[in-house]
Amino acid sequence: MAQLPDHERIALLTERLGLPAGSLRPELALEALRSSSYVNERALPPSRESLRSNERLEFLGDAVLGMAIAQRCYERFPDAPEGELTRLRSSLVREESLAIVARSLLLGDLLLVGRGDGVGDNPSRLADALEAVLAAVFLSCGMAAAQALLERLLAPLFAQTVALGRDPKTELQHFFQARRRAPQYCVIAALGPPHAREYEIEARLDSVPLARGIGKSKKEAEQAAARIALEQPELLERALLDEPVALEEGDLRWSVLAAEEIARLHALLGEDVEIEHVGSTAVPGLAARPIIDLDICRLAPLPRLPEYEPAGPGAFRKRGPRGAFNLRLVQPDILRDHARLRDFLRAHPEEALRYAADKRALISAGATGSLRYDQEKAPLLAKYEQDGNTIRIRTDSEENP
């Protein structure tokens, strides 16, 4: 709509915002719709127009938005602590939420941008423009009108956030369900006399403690534990990585699943990318965690891979009905080392059996979470020293002179 007359552009914006005709001051409405690229383009010869972009209005709109949302969160959740109110506000004012609202208004069609600088579906540009429009409404109609507009535009997002905000236990459940996991709650203690009982409950993921909460009922204590857990996102991410460890006997299906996944990855990344099935599931008959390890050697960073989620630097994982996979982006020498150890264990079944026994001993000694298990398994792998194309097994006397 680049050739749309100014008065029609303003009228369309007013209509899409659901405001009465003539509510917006024309100069503010147009300023809110002007990108810096549009202004810079017209400042050049021959036009040399002196126009103002929407950046100043965006600054004001950000403050208006933050104040309006903070007030509504404060009023709607009288018992919520500061940390929860902050989380609720952040979920509503984040770029993705504002871009959703901007798209619903078809705001991108009304923006004035420079030639070749289409906004398209850029969430950042759409969110910035929405904040500028909000500032124009505030300056034209006042804070009450801006507040009412936000209530209406953000109603669907607010309803979803309200449901989660009132129920931290549900929010924690949703967080883990997205990764195919589920939290558990364990009563630690029942405190006080029967007529004034308080419960202490611990939220856990598998055997990993997340947080403890106290309440006058079990439900209240569970909500308190979930709320405290949600305030520690790094702890939650670490707990997700710390999967329970259990070994299964070697399964021929692992090699089939690995070959299918490698073919799928080649289709996404190209046939020239080197991908190897490594680890215990790549050794026939070797007891292993039923998680297929794949090494990828690729010079460029990996693009976003469907169904995979980050699991650390250069590491990704997928868990689903078609199997569990760990994916690592490695250098050529690391890939060669992993493949050489795999081939060594394939060629020496007696050594594979000893390795399996050592892994079972780790689990029996308490390494039942993947983080501790991987850490304590490292010395087992260090026994297999590689020299060129050969592998030498270090003896116990060499390890403990």
Residues forming the active site:
62, 131
| Pairwise CA distance, residues 230 & 87, whole Å | 9
Tokens of 274: 């080197």
Which residue type does 31 have?
E
Question: For residues 154 and 148, is the Cβ–Cβ distance under 8 A?
Answer: no
| Pairwise CA distance, residues 265 & 259, whole Å | 10
Tokens of 37: 């690229």
HSE of 371 in the Cβ direction (CA atoms, 13 Å)?
A: 10
DSSP state of 244: B
Ramachandran assignment for 65, one of left (phi > 0), alpha (psi -120 to 50 degrees), beta (any other)? alpha
Own/partner pairs for 382-390, CB < 8 Å, 24+ apart? Answer: 384/341, 384/344, 386/337, 386/340, 386/341, 389/340
Residue 151 to residues 131, 135, 146, Cα–Cα distance (Å)? 14, 15, 9
**H-type helices in 154-252, by residue range?**
155-165, 168-177, 218-230, 233-241
Which class for 29: exposed (0-12), middle (13-18), buried (19 or more C-beta within 10 A)?
A: buried
